[in-house]
Amino acid sequence: MSKLILSLDGGGIRGAATTQFLTHVEKALQSTHQKSLRDCVDFYAGTSTGSLIALALATTNMDMQDINKLYSYSNAKKIFVENRGLFELDGLNAPKYEAKGKTATLKKYLGDARIKDVPAGKHVLAITYGIENRRPYVIKSTEGIFQNLLSYQVADASSAAPTYFPTRDMPLLPGNEQAWLIDGGVIANNPTMCAIAEVCRLWPDDKRRVLTVGTGTSTRKINGPDSRNWGALQWMLKGCIIDVLSDEKVVAYQAITISPQGSYIRVNAEMRCQPGFDQAPDDAMDDISQTNIKRLKGMGDFWFSQYGDAVVALLNDSYDGPSLDRIDPQTGHPLVYQAG
């Protein structure tokens, strides 16, 4: 047998590209194979905004069209509510955004779903990081201690990006000790290797297929010579340190290298104009303007034009092509992985 991993990166509002792409994929699956995305996936994995999508698919009955609607301008305004307290300066001495809007929106859509609600024979994981004991938490349905955690609370913790949103607290077993958690993107913005490790442990004798979807790659230049003189404040303001910490390329390289040829597709692209895509979105995780959300969804459309047939075949376990990597910005087509 062959097990299918669906792994989804973090990236804030840039998750709009992910949901747009997956909505196209589900429509194509239904049209050509009379299957839903859920019918094809055995293991879901997500970090930050990717954890919201993964948990919605794994633990609720929302279809991809409904999940895609989560990434709308009206919802984004409710989530990214600026922190306007006295003397609070745009993420410098307090989080840039309040927590309550994000929490309320996640609760509205994920409701009372819990980690244990993943269907029999399937599993899900979401990544967050505990700051007090300096350790990652891979919250997963394969461990009994996480079964009763509410999906919206897990997604809330996994998306608590430092400087953007407040740290989230959650009682975790054993002992129901209070853990203070932040965005899993600081350690694994691309959760693919965590998912592969779990699948190897769960189903050691089964082949695996991997569909991993990014949220676009930042291209804005960081000034190298100037960086020699930067302290903490400059690294945050000029060095985009959160983006640097959450870069997904190393994990993408590891995952494609250890995956058998033809069993892996990485959907992603640089966030700049390229052949077939002439309206690039802003790479900020919090640019929630109507224009930018439209452009993010346009990126999802572009991805489907380039990966759609291959991804649908991979999900249907009928793909016979090579492993595919991110889109080459020079050609506008996915890079074909050549082992060795």
Q: Catalytic amino acids?
A: 48, 183
Residue 230's beta-bridge partner residues? none
* Angle between helix 151-158 and helix 49-59 axes, rounded to 10 deg: 160
Distance CA 215, CA 190 (A): 10
Alpha carbon 48 to its chain's center: 6
Residue 267's beta-bridge partner residues? 213
Check whether the bond before 174 is cis (ω within 30° of 0): yes
Distance CA 112, CA 252 (A): 33
Distance CA 310, CA 57 (A): 21
**Tokens matching residue 100:** 């309550």
Contact 303, 267 (CB under 8 A): yes
Contacts made by residues 100-103, CB under 8 angstroms, sequence distance 24+: 102/156, 102/159, 102/165, 103/152, 103/156
φ and ψ at residue 125, rounded to 5 degrees: -140, 150
Among the listed residues 70, 64, 66, the one whose alpha carbon sits nearest the alpha carbon of residue 36:
64
Alpha-carbon dihedral 167, 169, 170, 174, rounded to 10 degrees:
100
